[in-house]
């Protein structure tokens, strides 16, 4: 990019801060209107909630702010590349996105396509697209080299459904073709695509694999998302829950860069609600290695009715004394008070835990709602835990921000 083009892109930062979501909402409506086949690539639930537009607005803003040195965004770009691979995004798709993005900038800002600003953003977008295409090409090539892996969508059947709590059920997925499955890192995810009857369309959504690798199945544990006063129903999650055992769905190969790094040091796994799924996968991976070091499993949820997999944790704790657990129930039931399934009432407050559960030299993994992860990360920093030891699951509803 020329210095003049860089200055033009940087000059749009105030506009993006003020009107970025308006721009990205317009962009998605324009692109999906012109390319209806992409409605089975982009999750329309994220469009409906506005989360996707907000995430893209944040990404575009971050890119504009760092246009002189986009390398500072490398970790976020890696996250996006993994998600694109899970959705089978290909290089030609970037041409469609770019064309609609540039026209959206022109139309929303009411400037002609021939304006130097549009040209500057065309160059900027082209550079970002090249970075993502190259990163995704490497990932696709890695899948091609990995035994049992695959590209795009593969048919799986729901071999078994197990209810884990009032809200969460586990789905054991077996490949219809009967061929091998790849190994993967505990903490990674797959994309699942199902027909959503309300839309008459297939819709994708990412779900963390909730156990360590097995030869004949993948497992996800999915929370049913009914409509509430402040929340719309989850189309893909609810469609999954309504499918019978034996039903077929489409699945992408495991991917993602949130996973257990080192099994030979103390690992502290901190989760909220259904965010315990990657933590259980990591724990099971450590169990498969006979749990070489201490593991501290810290979980927060509303009460025992929605506390998934608690018996699994109890069974492992009885077998492995190096596994320590701590559970906070925000709203324990009357029956909960008579039991011993939790150690604290109210929101999880790490400052109240025994410091032995939060060693300074441990690796920490966080997963749950974004506000929960931000709160727990700050609490760990306040207690002197080095930032480089804290790892968060950053993909979530609506995508990720640069």
pLDDT per residue as tens digits for the range 301-347: 999 999 999 999 999 999 999 999 999 999 999 989 877 789 999 99
Quote the domain boundaries for residue 196. Answer: 154-251
Q: For the domain that residue 213 is a member of, what is the CATH number? A: 2.40.30.10
Of 93, 110, 145, which residue is a domain's last? 145
Q: Is residue 352 part of a domain?
A: yes
What is the number of domains present in the chain?
A: 3
Q: What percent of the chain has pLDDT over 70?
A: 96
Q: Active site residue: 28, 94, 125, 364, which one?
A: 94
Alpha helices in 228-354 (DSSP H): 235-242, 276-288, 310-319, 334-338
In a domain, 309, yes or no: yes
**90 and 176 inside one domain:** no
Mark whether 139 and 178 lie in a shared domain. no
Residue at which a domain ends, from 145, 178, 203: 145
* Whether residue 193 sits in one domain with residue 118: no
Res 47 pLDDT > 90: no
382 lies in some domain? yes
| Same domain, residue pair 124 and 161 | no
Closest CA to 355 of 378, 325, 383, 379: 383
Is 87:191 a contact under the CB 8 Å cutoff? Answer: yes
pTM: 0.91
- Whether residue 135 is found in the same domain as residue 159: no
Count how many residues are written for the chain. 402
Residue 260 lies inside a defined structural domain of this protein? no
Is residue 124 domain-shared with residue 163, that is, in the same domain?
no
What was the pLDDT predicted at 59? 87
Residues 98 and 219 in one domain: no
What CATH code is carried by the domain that includes residue 379? 3.40.50.80
Instruction: Look at 2-6, 217-221, 375-379, 396-400 and tell me which has the smallest mean pLDDT.
Output: 396-400
Same domain? For 198 and 275 the reply is: no
| Whether 300 contacts 310, CB under 8 Å | no
The H-assigned helical ranges of 87-203 are 91-109, 116-145
Question: Domain check: are 133 and 177 in the same one?
Answer: no
Domain boundary among 145, 172, 205: 145
CATH code, domain carrying 54: 1.10.490.10
Give pLDDT, residue 229.
57
* Other beta carbons less than 10 A from residue 177's beta carbon: 10
Residue 43's pLDDT band (cuts 50, 70, 90) = confident
Is residue 366 within 8 Å of residue 299, measured between CB atoms?
no
The 3-state secondary structure of 232-266, one letter per residue: CCCHHHHHHHHCCCCCEEEECCCECCCCCCCCCCC
- Domain membership flag for residue 12: yes
Mean predicted confidence (pLDDT) in 3-16? 93
pLDDT at 395 over 90: no
CA 281 to chain centre: 15
User: By C-alpha distance, which of 350, 315, 343, 340 is closest to 329?
Assistant: 343
**Is residue 60 included in any domain, yes or no?**
yes
Q: Which of 40, 63, 136, 250 is catalytic?
A: 136
Residue 399 in domain: no
| Cross-strand bridge partners of residue 251 | 154, 192
Q: Residue 397 — very low, low, confident or very high, per pLDDT cuts 50/70/90?
A: very low
Instruction: Establish whether 184 is a catalytic residue.
Output: no
Residues 225 and 118 both lie in one domain: no
- 271/227 same-domain check: no
Mean pLDDT, residues 19-47: 91
Give the model confidence (pLDDT) of 71-95 as tens digits: 888 888 999 999 999 999 999 999 9
Residue 258 lies in a domain: no
| 18 catalytic residue (yes or no) | no
Residue 138 and residue 161 in one domain: no
In the predicted structure, residue 228 carries a pLDDT above the cut 70: no
């Amino acid at each position: 990019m020329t210095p003049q083009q860089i200055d033009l892109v940087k000059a749009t930062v105030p506009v993006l801060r003020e009107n970025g979501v308006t721009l990205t909402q317009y962009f998605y409506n324009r692109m999906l209107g012109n390319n209806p086949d992409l409605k089975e690539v982009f999750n329309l639930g994220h469009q409906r909630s506005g989360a996707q537009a907000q995430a893209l607005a944040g990404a575009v803003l971050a890119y504009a702010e760092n246009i002189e040195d986009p390398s500072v965004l490398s970790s976020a770009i890696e996250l996006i590349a993994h998600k694109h691979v899970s959705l089978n995004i290909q290089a030609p798709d970037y041409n469609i996105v770019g064309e609609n993005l540039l026209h959206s900038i022109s139309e929303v800002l009411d400037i002609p396509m021939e304006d130097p600003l549009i040209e500057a953003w065309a160059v900027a977008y082209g550079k970002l697209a090249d970075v993502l295409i190259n990163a995704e090409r490497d990932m696709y090539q890695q899948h091609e080299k990995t035994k049992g892996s695959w590209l795009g969508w593969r048919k799986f059947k729901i071999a078994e459904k197990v209810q884990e709590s009032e809200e969460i059920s586990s789905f054991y997925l077996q490949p219809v073709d009967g061929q091998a499955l790849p190994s993967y890192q505990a903490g990674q995810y797959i994309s699942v695509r199902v027909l959503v009857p309300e839309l008459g369309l297939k819709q994708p959504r990412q779900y963390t694999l909730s156990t360590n690798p097995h030869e004949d199945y993948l497992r996800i544990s999915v929370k049913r998302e009914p409509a509430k006063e402040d929340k719309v129903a989850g189309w893909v999650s609810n469609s999954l829950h309504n499918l019978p055992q034996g039903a077929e769905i489409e699945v992408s190969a495991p991917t993602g860069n949130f996973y257990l790094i080192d099994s030979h040091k103390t690992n502290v796994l901190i989760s909220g609600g259904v965010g315990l799924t990657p933590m259980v996968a990591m724990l099971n991976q450590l169990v498969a290695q006979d749990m070489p070091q201490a593991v501290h499993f810290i979980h927060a949820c509303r009460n025992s009715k929605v506390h998934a997999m608690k018996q699994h944790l109890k069974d492992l704790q009885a077998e492995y004394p190096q596994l320590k657990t701590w559970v906070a129930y925000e709203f324990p039931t009357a029956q909960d008070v008579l039991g011993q399934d939790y150690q604290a009432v109210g929101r999880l407050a790490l400052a109240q835990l025994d410091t032995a559960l939060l060693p300074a030299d441990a690796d920490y993994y966080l997963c749950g709602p974004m506000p929960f992860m931000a709160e727990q990360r700050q609490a760990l920093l306040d207690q002197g835990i080095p930032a480089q030891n804290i790892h968060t699951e950053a993909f979530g509803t609506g995508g990720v921000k640069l």
